[in-house]
């Protein structure tokens, strides 16, 4: 990790579901030989353990705030530890780094709702209209949770050192933008 030196996370990658953050992180890991922690995967694993869909689990998290706080504490503590992977990916990772005063790159990948729906349909099937509805529903309850639990407006780009409007960009173009941005941090 981090060229053999124990450091906190070098970069956080954030974006709404379907924005391409996982593809970006995979590209960074491959090109830089870095490690990662994927908060979305941790969230999906927690939902699967409870035999719930992501939407059901999100609703469950509204009722039982300890689940969200457990995940967020894990991400926040991991990115500040000497054993942190270089990349921490989650919608709130940039906020946790910002609030903790970590001097790392904090990237937000911005993608329109319709483009995100298309990407999810290509990956998982279904219709674009149905995915847009699910995206809006999930965004609404996630925004409510983040505001209620942490006083975070997920639509604010305040904590980010790099915001990429990527609707019309290929994954390799997004990767190139982030690699150039990382030159300031490594």
The per-residue pLDDT for range 138-147, each reduced to its tens digit, is: 889 889 888 9
Residue 118 banded pLDDT, cuts 50, 70, 90: very high
Question: Tokens standing for 69?
Answer: 């706080």
The per-residue pLDDT for range 37-62, each reduced to its tens digit, is: 988 788 888 889 999 988 788 788 77
Question: Tokens standing for 89?
Answer: 């990916």
Segment 111-116 shows an average pLDDT of 94
Of 5 and 51, the one with more pLDDT = 51
Residue 13, pLDDT > 90, answer yes
Tokens 């997004």 correspond to what residue? Answer: 174
* 3-state secondary structure at position 50: coil
The CATH class of the 2-111+158-181 domain is alpha beta
What residue spans define the domains of the chain? 2-111+158-181
Residue 81, pLDDT > 70, answer yes
* 3-state secondary structure at position 130: helix
- How confident is the model at residue 129, as a pLDDT? 94
The CA-atom distances, in angstroms, between 181 and each of 25, 144, 171 are: 14, 31, 15
Per-range mean pLDDT, top range of 6-15, 18-27, 117-126, 136-145: 18-27
Residue 5, pLDDT > 70, answer no
């Amino acid at each position: 990790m981090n060229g053999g030196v124990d450091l906190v996370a070098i970069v956080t990658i954030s974006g709404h579901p379907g924005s391409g953050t996982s593809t970006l992180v995979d590209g960074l890991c491959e090109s830089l030989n870095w490690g990662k922690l994927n908060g979305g995967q941790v969230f999906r694993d927690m939902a699967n353990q409870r035999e719930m869909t992501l939407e059901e689990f999100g609703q469950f998290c509204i009722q039982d705030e300890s689940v969200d706080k457990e995940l967020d504490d894990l991400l926040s503590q991991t990115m500040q530890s000497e054993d942190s992977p270089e990349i921490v990916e989650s919608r709130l990772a940039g906020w946790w780094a910002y609030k903790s005063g970590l001097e790392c790159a904090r990237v937000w990948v911005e993608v329109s709702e319709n483009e995100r729906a298309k990407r999810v349909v290509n990956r998982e099937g279904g219709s674009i209209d149905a995915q847009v509805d699910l995206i809006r529903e999930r965004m609404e309850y996630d925004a409510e949770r983040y505001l209620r639990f942490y006083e975070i407006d997920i639509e604010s780009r305040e904590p980010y050192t790099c915001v990429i409007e990527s609707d019309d960009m290929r994954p390799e173009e997004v990767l190139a933008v982030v690699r150039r941005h990382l030159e300031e941090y490594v």
